[in-house]
């Protein structure tokens, strides 16, 4: 569809005296969007609002071009995987997924066929006839995801789907989501563990205490924080000599030898640092690598919440 997949206009959600979301306005486009924030930031409230399970106390929420609270057809174009562990665990995986398909309006034969395909996509076919009570945490998460994608939704809403899963299940889940996004589905995935989504999402929405901190590509958000020094780490045979040279570059505010051969540099002008580094490195044999320390989600979130630093 053209236009934003999700559009919130000054949305507030109150639970009595508690604010779940506080005057949030944002647009979420196609692709994979990470909804980031600590527990209690408002992520689940956000997801329940955009899936039509909650109604905003004020403001307007539109999803896939429609009013998600009043338009039942819009909800049918979404798939939702909740954070809750509660499932019908006396059922086997195939029965669980197909039953939810039948309850959503699919004929039984089609629901069964789609359930098998969804379980196969998540590499859960071998356990399809086992009771969910015997599933590991990762297998349960994949069964919940299988029902969410059963009807090939245009929009996938996933609440902490990677929480507590093993590395193999994590890889299988992310592979499936990448494939769905490449085929045209939009994905919104929440997490309170920032590194889980690094390198996976196209853009992020950062929430803290019900407020919108920032939105956009991680690199773009970081570039807005130029008042905070950027940090990089270099490894060199003669790190002390290299530190003296780097302190002569405009914008460099510190060059600390954190351990033998390892140099942590902070600069307010990263472009000047990167431009000067090749010539300096050529004169200091043994410079082995350079790693940005604050270009990831966790560092961006720390800067926004705490004002940067260590």
User: Does 226 score more than 60 pLDDT?
Assistant: no
**pLDDT class of 208 with cuts at 50, 70, 90:** confident
The CA distance from 11 to 169, in Å, is 35
In this prediction, residue 307 carries a pLDDT of 52
Q: Is residue 240 part of a domain?
A: yes
203 plus 245 within the same structural domain:
no
CATH number at residue 56: 3.40.50.300
The CA distance from 95 to 105, in Å, is 15
Q: Is residue 266 part of a domain?
A: yes
57 plus 191 within the same structural domain:
yes
**pLDDT class of 304 with cuts at 50, 70, 90:** low
The two structure tokens encoding residue 277: 């580094």
In this prediction, residue 310 carries a pLDDT of 40
Mean pLDDT of the chain: 84
Provide the number of structural domains found in the chain: 2
Domain finish residue from 196, 222, 248: 222
Q: Is residue 164 part of a domain?
A: yes
Residues counted in the chain: 310
The CA distance from 17 to 24, in Å, is 17
Closest CA to 177 of 207, 197, 205, 206: 197
In this prediction, residue 232 carries a pLDDT of 82
Residue % of the chain over a pLDDT of 70: 86
206 plus 61 within the same structural domain:
yes
The CA distance from 188 to 200, in Å, is 12
In this prediction, residue 308 carries a pLDDT of 46
Q: Is residue 277 part of a domain?
A: yes
Per the CB < 8 A criterion, the answer to whether 148 and 80 are in contact is yes
**pLDDT class of 261 with cuts at 50, 70, 90:** confident
Mean pLDDT of 160-186: 86
Task: Using DSSP bridges, classify how beta strands 203-208 and 32-36 pair: parallel, antiparallel or unpaired.
Answer: parallel
Domain finish residue from 176, 201, 222: 222
230 plus 248 within the same structural domain:
yes
pLDDT tens digits for 266-283? 887 877 887 887 777 776
User: Does 23 score more than 90 pLDDT?
Assistant: yes
149 plus 63 within the same structural domain:
yes
186 plus 87 within the same structural domain:
yes
256 plus 207 within the same structural domain:
no
239 plus 119 within the same structural domain:
no
User: Does 302 score more than 70 pLDDT?
Assistant: no
The two structure tokens encoding residue 251: 């914008």
Mean pLDDT of 248-259: 85
User: Does 13 score more than 90 pLDDT?
Assistant: yes
- 303-308: Cβ within 8 A, 24+ apart: 303/222, 303/225, 303/228, 304/206, 304/208, 304/213, 304/214, 304/221, 304/225, 305/208, 305/213, 307/228, 308/225, 308/228, 308/229
252 plus 217 within the same structural domain:
no
CATH number at residue 231: 3.30.70.920
179 plus 243 within the same structural domain:
no
Residue 285 is part of which domain span? 225-306
218 plus 91 within the same structural domain:
yes
Domain finish residue from 222, 241, 271: 222
The CA distance from 304 to 300, in Å, is 6
212 plus 229 within the same structural domain:
no
pLDDT tens digits for 117-160? 999 999 999 989 999 889 888 888 899 999 999 988 999 999 98
Q: Is residue 1 part of a domain?
A: no
């Amino acid at each position: 569809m053209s236009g934003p997949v999700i559009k919130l206009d000054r949305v507030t959600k109150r639970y009595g005296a508690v604010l779940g979301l506080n005057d949030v306005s944002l647009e979420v486009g196609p692709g994979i969007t990470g909804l980031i924030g600590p527990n209690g930031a408002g992520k689940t409230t956000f997801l329940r609002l955009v899936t039509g399970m909650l109604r905003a106390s004020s403001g307007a929420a539109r999803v896939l071009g429609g009013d998600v609270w009043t338009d039942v057809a819009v909800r049918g174009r979404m798939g939702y995987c909740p954070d809750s562990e509660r499932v019908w665990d006396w059922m086997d995986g195939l029965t669980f997924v197909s039953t939810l398909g039948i309850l959503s309006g699919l004929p039984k034969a089609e629901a069964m066929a789609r359930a098998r395909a969804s379980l196969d996509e998540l590499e859960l076919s071998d356990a399809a006839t086992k009771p969910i009570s015997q599933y590991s945490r990762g297998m349960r998460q994949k069964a919940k995801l299988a029902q969410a994608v059963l009807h090939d939704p245009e929009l996938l809403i996933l609440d902490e789907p990677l929480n507590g899963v093993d590395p193999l299940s994590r890889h299988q889940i992310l592979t499936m989501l990448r494939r769905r996004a490449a085929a045209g589905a939009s994905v919104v995935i929440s997490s309170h563990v920032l590194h889980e989504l690094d390198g996976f999402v196209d853009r992020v929405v950062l929430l803290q205490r019900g407020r919108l901190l920032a939105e956009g590509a991680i690199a773009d958000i970081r570039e807005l924080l130029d008042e905070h020094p950027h940090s990089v780490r270099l490894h060199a045979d003669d790190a002390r000599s290299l530190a003296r040279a780097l302190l002569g570059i405009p914008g460099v505010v510190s060059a600390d030898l954190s351990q033998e051969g390892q140099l942590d540099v902070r600069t307010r002008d990263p472009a000047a640092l990167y431009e000067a580094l090749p010539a300096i490195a050529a004169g200091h044999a043994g410079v082995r690598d350079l790693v940005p320390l604050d270009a990831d989600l966790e560092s961006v979130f720390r800067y926004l919440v705490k004002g940067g630093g260590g």
